[in-house]
């Protein structure tokens, strides 16, 4: 380990875990506070790091008044294969501590695009684990440089423009850049201009985490375009700058037309503000990670949940310079759970020069309505707020559907006929779960033996191809004989010989059909059933067995039981508004004489 001085340049080689090696070099002033904190002012000397240097800001601070300069010799340079580590990360168990404090002050300003205070060459490494750099000139992280940032604050300490410029151009080089954990905070508060984050390439950085906190800053991609980059947990909540995203270039070609590269500001602290950096086009979106925990009423995870949401059309959909956001975004899926991760789009922006369109995809309260359904649980909904830092964890409690009769959905799906209200409801629920499109209510509801089909037309078809089908507004169920009550404001139709027992109410009126059963008949009796008080025959048989059964649509009937060997019997006004079973006792007719 060593620092050496030569001709106004201090060169670090080997490994240094602090700055003590600077002591005694030409132009270096050391100020000590207590026994553990020293400030090393290297004056106007340039610092070239060729080994591994760590600056713990809780112990050391480096001050440089070296003038900014052009590549390759800026004020501080991290050369190829060298490493500058700012801050120290301490991990104990699950606890992580990053150091705090200012590691470097680089005081001299320079040309925004040509000069630099801090320069990391290709194959050089800059690491940050809890430190602040106060600087007046730009930082250049060259393409091919390694940049690992878990906690770094960049403060523009003088009244001039500056930028932190990440110049990775290829996937190999963007893979060398990671800004995670606490990420990078950019604070241009010492200047009358923004502290800018600049990228120059069009290849995305590791997209699962690219974390920035803007205090007074903007993301301003280079005019050559920008990558389809996800800025995770983009903290602009306290950004006193006038804008968060200064678009410049659509992503390529110096043009204005959308080329697919869409900057993605995710989990933002507040809605983004936009401005144009130049006359070129820019496109971005704001998104939010929502992690639903799908549970039943007992708190157990559910894994067979269907979900659906469609975003909000606020009348501001965009179709501009090949960027088209006019279509709804639908979030849907089946058999999800017990956790469900959704990345919802909050907003699109498309602009060129000062023409700018902003398409909010949420309600005014920053929400989108999500609905959930499973076979065994009721439809439930939640409207997560999609603005705010970090992922949103939302527990969704799905209450048990008390109307389900058969809890085994496979059994229900295997039904070949739906001859009861219970089977009808269960199968309709299973269908809805499998084909869920955000309905606020089940297709039909059930109360006991009664189905309320809302406004659906209902067809009961004895020879239907499947047990249940929904086409348009028509539900077709297969049943030779349906037992139960159905109500709809649509129409109820019996097809291919299907019959029903119960009360049907549709747009025409109410039809009640009950089962009339006569037991104890003498065989070969003639039975005739008439609408009560009329001669309108509803059912009958010439030669009965000992039991007679008929489906009756009248609320009351007259029944004639006639046999030559037995006395004529007529039962008047039998109540057939519900199923009726009558035991019949026929007296021998002792007075009949066979002619």
Partner 1 sequence: MADATFDGANLHITLPSIGSFDAQKEIYSAWKEWIRQSDNAKYPPAFDTTGGDVVGSGETVAPYFFCRNDLGWRIKMPQADGEIVVAGNLFPRDPSASLFEQTSGYDAFLRLEVSTRAVVIERGTSGLTDAEAAQLALIPALL
Residues that bind partner 1 in the complex, under the rule CB under 8 A: 526, 528, 530, 535, 537, 540, 560, 562, 564, 567-568, 570, 589-595
Q: Least separation, in Å, of the C-beta of 586 and partner 1?
A: 13
Is the CB of 391 or the CB of 526 nearer to partner 1?
Answer: 526
Minimum distance from CB of 521 to partner 1 (Å)? 15
Least separation in angstroms between CB 591 and partner 1 = 4
CA atoms within 13 A on the CB side of 289: 18
**What six digits make up the tokens of 71?**
């590549």
Residue 481 Cβ vs partner 1, minimum distance, rounded to whole Å? 26
**Phi, psi for 20 (deg, rounded to 5):** -60, -25
If one counts every other C-beta atom within 10 angstroms of the C-beta of residue 10, the result is: 25
Please tell me the distance from the alpha carbon of residue 248 to that of residue 255, in angstroms, as a whole number. 9
Can you read off the two tokens belonging to residue 321?
Answer: 């310079």
Contact 256, 281 (CB under 8 A): yes
- Structure token pair of residue 424: 């009808």
Nearer to partner 1 by Cβ, of 298 and 542: the residue is 542
d(CA 392, CA 414): 39
Residue 438: CB minimum distance to partner 1, A:
56
Task: Note whether 16 and 49 are within 8 A (CB).
Answer: no
Instruction: Identify which of residues 177 and 529 has a Cβ nearer to partner 1 in the complex.
Output: 529
Q: Which is nearer to partner 1, 272 or 584 (CB)?
A: 584
Considering only CA atoms, which of 313, 340, 331, 341 is closest in space to residue 438?
331
Least CB distance to partner 1 at residue 457 (A) = 36
Q: Please list, in sequence order, all residues whose beta carbon lies within 8 angstroms of the beta carbon of residue 283, skipping any fewer than 6 positions away.
A: 247, 250, 251, 258, 261, 262, 263, 323, 348, 349, 350, 351
| Residue 317 to residue 504: CA distance in whole angstroms | 46
Q: How far is the CB of 420 from partner 1 (least distance, A)?
A: 34
C-alpha to C-alpha distance for 372 and 382, rounded to whole angstroms:
9
CB of 566 to partner 1, least distance (A): 10
| Beta carbon nearer to partner 1, 439 or 589 | 589
Map 454-506 to HEC letters: CCCEEEEECCCCCCEEEECCEEEEECCEEECEEECCCCEEEECCCEEEEEEEC
Specify the residue, 338 or 540, whose C-beta has the smaller distance to partner 1: 540
Residue closer to partner 1 (CB basis): 36 or 590 = 590
CB 128 within 8 A of CB 150: yes
Least CB distance from residue 594 to partner 1, whole Å?
7
CA–CA separation, 315 vs 469, rounded Å? 36
- Pair 515, 552: CB distance under 8 Å: yes
Of the two residues 292 and 530, which places its CB atom closer to partner 1 in the complex? 530
Closer CB to partner 1, 429 or 528, in the complex: 528
Nearer to partner 1, 134 or 563 (CB): 563
Quick one: which of 184, 132, 171 has its CA closest to 155? 132
Residue (18 or 526) nearer to partner 1, CB: 526
In the complex, what is the shortest distance from the CB of residue 583 to partner 1, in angstroms, rounded to a whole number? Answer: 20
Judged by CB, which is closer to partner 1: 479, or 574?
574
Q: How far is the CB of 536 from partner 1 (least distance, A)?
A: 8
Q: Is 172 left (phi over 0), alpha (psi -120 to 50) or beta?
A: alpha
Cβ 520 vs Cβ 585: under 8 Å: yes
As measured in angstroms, the least distance from the Cβ of 565 to partner 1 is: 9
Phi, psi (degrees; rounded to nearest 5) at 494: -105, 130
């Amino acid at each position: 380990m060593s620092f050496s001085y030569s001709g106004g340049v201090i060169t670090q080689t080997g490994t240094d875990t602090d700055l003590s090696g600077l002591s005694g070099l030409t132009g270096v002033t050391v100020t000590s506070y207590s026994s553990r904190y020293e400030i090393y002012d290297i004056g106007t000397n340039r610092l070239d790091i060729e080994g591994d240097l760590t600056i713990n800001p809780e112990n050391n601070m480096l001050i440089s008044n070296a003038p900014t300069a052009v590549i390759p010799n800026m004020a501080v340079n991290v050369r190829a294969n060298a490493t500058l580590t700012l801050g120290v990360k301490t991990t104990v168990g699950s606890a992580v501590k990053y150091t705090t404090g200012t590691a470097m002050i680089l005081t001299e300003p320079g040309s925004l695009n040509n000069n630099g205070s801090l320069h990391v060459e290709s194959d050089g490494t800059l690491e940050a684990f809890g430190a602040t750099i106060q600087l007046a000139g730009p930082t250049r992280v060259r393409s091919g440089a390694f940049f690992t940032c878990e906690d770094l604050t960049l403060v523009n300490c003088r009244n001039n423009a500056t930028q932190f410029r990440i110049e990775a151009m290829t996937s190999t080089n963007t893979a060398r850049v990671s800004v995670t954990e606490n990420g990078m905070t950019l604070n241009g508060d010492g200047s009358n201009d923004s502290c800018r984050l600049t990228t120059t390439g069009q290849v995305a950085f590791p997209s699962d985490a690219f974390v920035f906190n803007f205090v007074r800053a903007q993301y301003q991609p280079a005019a050559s375009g920008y990558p389809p980059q996800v800025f995770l947990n983009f903290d602009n909540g306290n950004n006193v700058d006038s804008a968060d995203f200064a678009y410049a270039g659509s992503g390529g070609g110096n043009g204005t037309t959308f080329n697919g590269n869409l900057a993605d500001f995710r989990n933002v602290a507040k809605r983004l503000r936009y401005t144009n950096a130049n006359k070129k086009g820019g496109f971005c979106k704001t998104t939010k990670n929502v992690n639903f925990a799908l549970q039943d009423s007992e708190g157990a995870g559910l894994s067979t949940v269907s979900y659906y949401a469609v975003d909000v059309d606020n009348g501001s959909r965009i179709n501009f310079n090949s960027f088209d956001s006019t279509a709804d975004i639908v979030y849907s899926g089946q058999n999800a759970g017990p956790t469900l991760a959704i990345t919802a789009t909050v907003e699109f922006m498309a602009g060129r020069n000062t023409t700018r369109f902003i398409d909010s995809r949420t309600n005014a309260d920053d929400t989108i309505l999500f609905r959930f359904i499973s076979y065994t649980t009721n439809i439930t909904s939640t409207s997560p707020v999609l603005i705010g830092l970090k992922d949103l964890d939302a527990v969704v409690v799905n209450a048990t559907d008390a109307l389900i009769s058969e809890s085994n959905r496979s059994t229900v799906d295997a039904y070949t006929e739906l001859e009861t209200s219970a089977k009808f409801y269960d199968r309709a629920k299973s269908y809805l779960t499998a084909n869920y499109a955000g309905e606020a209510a089940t297709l039909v509801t059930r109360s006991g033996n009664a189905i309320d089909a809302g406004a659906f037309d209902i067809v009961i078809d004895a020879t239907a191809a499947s047990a249940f089908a929904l086409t348009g507004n028509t539900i077709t169920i297969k049943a030779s004989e349906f037992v139960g009550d159905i109500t709809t404001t649509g129409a109820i139709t019996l097809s291919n010989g299907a019959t029903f027992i119960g009360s049907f109410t549709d747009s025409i009126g109410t039809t009640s059909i009950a089962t009339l059963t006569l037991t104890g008949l003498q065989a070969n009796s003639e039975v005739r059933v008439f609408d009560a008080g009329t001669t309108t025959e509803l059912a009958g048989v010439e030669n009965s067995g000992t039991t007679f059964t008929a489906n009756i649509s009248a609320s009351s009937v007259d029944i004639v039981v006639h046999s030559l060997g037995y006395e004529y019997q007529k039962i008047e006004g039998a109540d057939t508004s519900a199923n009726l079973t009558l035991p019949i006792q026929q007296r021998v007719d002792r007075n009949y004489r066979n002619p």
